[in-house]
Chains A and B, each alone.
With several copies, the nearest count.
Chain A
Amino acid sequence: MLLHTVNKSPFDRNSLENCLRFAQKGHSILLFEDGIYGALTGTRFETLLKGALKSYNIYVLVPDIQARGMRTENVIDGIKSTDYAGFVDLVAENKTVQAWL
């Protein structure tokens, strides 16, 4: 299994979109740094993410959410909150990490 990491805002770059195009069913995707903006309710990308949750395990890094003034209550239902320790576990649990830089 693969862990995909996305660190850019979906408004700014195409990395999340491309990650979703190539990730296989059951893969994990971690949104961190400016990537967290994709995990929030009320944005233009909410529908895309809700659809993606049917195929992938999606995680978001809480320290990056909080730094940017967002609240975990506003994270789309089904996206799992995690921290750096959880990030480490995700890396350990998956065979390979693929960064969408």
Chain B
Amino acid sequence: MEDEGVVKKFLYLNRKAPYGSIYALESLEVVLIGAAFDQDVSLAFIDDGVYQLKKNQQTSVTSGIGVKDFSKTYRALEGYDVEKLYVDKKTMEERGLSTDDLLVPVEVLDDAQMAELMEQQDVVLSF
């Protein structure tokens, strides 16, 4: 779209749980807008950030905690060509989670691989 020719590596670093605070939702909004810019985008989910991708999230404005469920939007990322989603191995283990628990396909990285991913980035957006 804009700034054709320049392709930078953008990493979205997500370390916070959903619903308890808005960072997860507003981070996703940046990713969606950012997709139009044709940059090389990766999303990393570390610590409680991995909970953003948990399947079966159930709440609505009129039921549960009374907050909009935005988790289905992660499934839409593929349609925006945002396909590089990474989760941290230790994060998953400490929480007893497997990739089957997650809404979308992700790649599990160990410490060294995640460090390597971070090393390659031009721009890191932390939320």
- Asked if chains A and B are in direct contact (CB within 8 A), the reply is yes
A22-B118, A101-B15, A101-B127 known; A69-B57 Cβ under 8 A: yes
What is the count of residue pairs linking A and B with beta-carbon distances less than 8 angstroms?
107
Complex-state Cα separation, A66 to B55, whole angstroms = 10
Give A18 to B119 CA distance when docked, in angstroms.
Answer: 15
A47 close to B (CB within 8 Å) = no
Max chain A C-beta neighbours (<10 A), residue from B16, B65, B114: B65
Within 8 A of A (CB), among B14-30: 15-21
Q: Is the CB of A71 within 8 A of B56?
A: yes
Instruction: Determine if A43 and B95 form an interchain contact, defined as CB atoms under 8 angstroms apart.
Output: yes
How large, as a class, is the contact surface on chain B? 35 or more
Contact of B6 with A by CB under 8 A: no
Inter-chain contact A68/B51, CB cutoff 8 Å: yes
A59 contacts the other chain (CB 8 A): no
Interchain CA distance A12-B111 in the complex, whole Å = 19
For the complex, what is the distance from the CA of A91 to the CA of B70, rounded to whole Å? 31
Which secondary structure dominates where chain B touches chain A? Answer: loop
Please determine whether B96 and A66 come into contact, CB atoms closer than 8 angstroms. Answer: no
Task: Please determine whether A68 and B19 come into contact, CB atoms closer than 8 angstroms.
Answer: yes
Interface status of B36 (Cβ within 8 A of chain A): no
Given A63-B59, A63-B65, A98-B126, A68–B17 Cβ distance below 8 Å?
yes
In this complex, the member of A7, A43, A71 whose beta carbon has the largest number of chain B beta carbons within 10 angstroms is: A43
Residue of A nearest to B125 (CB): A99
| Minimum C-beta distance from B42 to chain A (A) | 13
List 20 additional contacts besides A12-B17, A66-B59, A95-B122; criterion CB under 8 Å: A2-B118, A11-B95, A12-B47, A14-B47, A18-B15, A22-B115, A23-B115, A24-B119, A34-B21, A37-B17, A63-B64, A63-B65, A66-B58, A67-B64, A69-B55, A69-B71, A98-B124, A99-B126, A101-B15, A101-B126
